[in-house]
């Protein structure tokens, strides 16, 4: 069941920011960042400090869903620094501390709120591998893991751009929902990522998102944005859908929300859809107080003003430019993605694998994504300095050139 570890037969030991050291003291640059769960890099000193202080004082670690001070403080900070400045009104549900659990909770709630069963999900979407979430996940290997069971109650439709630039795929969505004979049942929810991380850095356009949101509304379906990978600053803003002109009914957050890589998830719920009964969707680890501590510090440190967003913008521009240059080294390659969630589609999984392998030899940890793992994906911490970003991209550039020849 190891996947990343098969490629890196190294024992990692210490880490700080974008750098990681193995047991022999060798230094690596980490452009994978806990699969997007380390947007602020490894072991941020302020979070570490706060967490150590919490432990030292005997602060509660596991609080179930009871009120604990770290939880209250996180909630206040999230309200004050995230929701209020964006004029958002959401209730916060701490689900089991994994992304797949947040998705399970979102689907359950949407179905309960609407009394409907069907959920619209999109080609190349990734939403987790527990059974309910897996039904919405596109990846065949994951879907076949459980082999023998059906994954019902999800209708799959083409994501923005799936049929090329000339076909607006939201047309089909609208058509099947307005046609009483389409065979697509009225949906409880439309579930999407604004940028498909695992799916290969496919980006939904603003007009497409707005149209999909309008279709959801017109059809009585909840719009769920799965912001587990694209959220918490990855695309440049706290939520990936900011500036897109849409307000999701439910939002899933996980991965980087704790700031420190600790397991934590939450579901944002528009108040009118908070139809949970007490304890209906429960779980032992909903009250991971260590994660609440670091999550609060992360918000205070990075989201109190707009300077962090400007920093991400600068880094994104740098990454975009460098990737464009690197893409020219690989015939047919293109740059995909948005913000600090960009990469190069080299159109061939073997080529991508070879480039990643060569990068790893040069001590750059980097991974590929996409249906055939053909998109080399930069998920560097958002806090990575310009210097280290350039250093990593230099390695990628060398590996791309080399990699190409090796395969050809």
CA distance 125 to 117: 19
> Of residues 25, 115, 165, 271, which one binds a copy of itself by CB under 8 A?
115
Binding window for a copy of itself (CB under 8 A); candidates: 118-126, 207-215, 316-324, 380-388: 118-126
Interface segment toward a copy of itself; rule CB under 8 A; list 130-138, 211-219, 309-317, 336-344: 130-138
With contacts defined by CB under 8 A, name the span among 140-148, 233-241, 310-318, 334-342 that binds a copy of itself.
140-148
- Cβ neighbours, 10 Å, residue 148: 5
Tokens at residue 73, please? 């403080």
Determine which residue in the list 284, 305, 310, 325 makes contact with a copy of itself, applying CB under 8 A.
Answer: 284
230 neighbors 341 (Cβ within 8 angstroms): yes
CB of 273 to a copy of itself, least distance (A): 12
Q: What part of residues 60-79 is at the interface with a copy of itself (CB under 8 A)?
A: 60-69, 72
Judged by CB under 8 A, the residue of 24, 87, 152, 165 near a copy of itself is 152
Q: Are 106 and 252 in contact (CB under 8 A)?
A: yes
Closest of 364, 336, 329, 368 to residue 349, by C-alpha? 368
Show contacts with a copy of itself in window 285-314 (CB under 8 A). 285, 288, 290
Rule CB under 8 A: choose which of 81, 82, 154, 330 binds a copy of itself. 154
Residue 87 binds a copy of itself (CB under 8 A): no
Q: Kindly compute the dihedral angle of the four CA atoms of residues 18, 230, 255, 45, in this order, to the nearest 10 degrees.
A: 40
For 205, phi and psi rounded to 5 degrees?
A: -80, 160
Candidate residues 18, 31, 74, 116; the one interacting with a copy of itself per rule CB under 8 A? 116
Identity of the residue, 165 or 279, whose beta carbon is nearer to a copy of itself in the bound complex:
279
- Sign, CA dihedral 388-389-393-396, equals positive
| H-helix segments, 179-268 | 206-218
- For 252, residues 6+ apart whose C-beta sits below 8 A from its C-beta are 99, 102, 103, 106, 224, 225, 226, 227, 228, 265, 266, 267, 268
CB of 98 to a copy of itself, least distance (A): 4
> Is 271 an interacting residue with respect to a copy of itself (CB under 8 A)?
no
Contacts of 14 (CB under 8 A, 6+ apart): 20, 21
Q: How far is the CB of 67 from a copy of itself (least distance, A)?
A: 4
Write out the binding residues for a copy of itself, residues 246-265 only, by CB under 8 A. Answer: 254-255, 260-263
For the packed helices 45-56 and 289-302, what is the interaxial angle rounded to 10 degrees? 140
Which DSSP category does 82 fall into? I
Q: Is 112 in the site for a copy of itself (CB under 8 A)?
A: yes
* Closest CB to a copy of itself among residues 168, 394: 168
Residue 384 makes contact with a copy of itself by CB under 8 A:
no
Window 174-233: residues binding a copy of itself (CB under 8 A): 175-176, 179-186, 188, 199-200
Size of interface with a copy of itself, in residues (CB under 8 A): 134
| DSSP state at residue 377 | E
Instruction: Compute the least distance from the CB of residue 285 to a copy of itself, in Å.
Output: 4
Of the residues 18, 39, 77, 137, which one makes contact with a copy of itself according to CB under 8 A: 137
Residues 26-65 that bind a copy of itself (CB under 8 A): 32, 34-38, 42-43, 48, 51-52, 55-65
Residue 273 has which token pair? 């859809």
Residue 60 has which token pair?
């509660």
């Amino acid at each position: 069941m190891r996947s990343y570890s098969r490629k890196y037969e190294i024992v990692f030991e210490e880490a700080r920011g974008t750098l990681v050291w193995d047991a022999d003291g060798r230094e690596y640059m980490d452009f994978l960042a806990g699969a997007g769960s380390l947007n602020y890099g490894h072991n941020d000193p302020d979070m570490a400090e706060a967490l150590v202080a919490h432990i030292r004082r005997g602060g509660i670690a596991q609080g179930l869903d009871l009120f604990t001070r770290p939880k209250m403080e996180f909630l206040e900070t999230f309200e004050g620094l995230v929701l209020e400045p964006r004029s958002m009104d959401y209730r916060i549900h701490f689900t089991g501390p994994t992304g797949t659990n947040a998705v399970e909770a979102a689907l359950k709630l949407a179905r309960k709120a609407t009394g409907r069963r069907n959920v619209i999900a999109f080609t190349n979407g990734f939403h987790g591998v527990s059974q309910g979430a897996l039904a919405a996940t596109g990846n065949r290997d994951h879907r076949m893991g459980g082999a023998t069971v059906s994954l019902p109650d999800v209708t799959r439709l083409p994501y923005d751009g799936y049929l090329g630039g000339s076909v607006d795929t939201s047309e089909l969505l609208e058509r099947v929902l307005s046609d009483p004979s389409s065979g697509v049942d009225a949906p409880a929810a439309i579930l999407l990522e604004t940028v498909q991380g695992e799916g290969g850095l496919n980006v939904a356009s603003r007009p497409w998102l707005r149209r999909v949101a309008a279709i959801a509304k017109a059809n009585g379906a909840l719009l769920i944005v799965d912001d587990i990978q694209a959220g918490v600053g990855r695309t440049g803003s706290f939520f990936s859908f900011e500036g897109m002109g849409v307000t999701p009914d439910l939002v899933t957050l996980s991965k980087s929300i704790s700031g420190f890589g600790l397991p934590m998830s939450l579901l944002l719920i528009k108040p009118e859809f908070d139809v949970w009964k007490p304890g209906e969707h429960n779980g032992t680890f909903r009250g991971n107080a260590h994660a609440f501590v670091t999550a609060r510090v992360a918000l205070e440190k990075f989201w109190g003003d707009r300077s962090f967003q400007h920093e991400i913008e600068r880094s994104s521009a740098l990454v975009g430019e460098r990737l464009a240059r690197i893409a020219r080294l690989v015939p047919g390659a293109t740059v995909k993605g948005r913000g600090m969630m960009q990469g190069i589609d080299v159109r061939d999984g073997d080529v991508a694998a070879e480039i990643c392998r060569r990068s790893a030899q040069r001590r750059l940890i980097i991974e590929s994504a996409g249906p055939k793992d053909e998109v080399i994906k930069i998920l560097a911490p958002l806090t990575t300095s310009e210097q280290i970003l350039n250093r990593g991209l230099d390695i990628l550039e060398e590996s791309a050139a080399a990699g190409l020849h090796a395969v050809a």
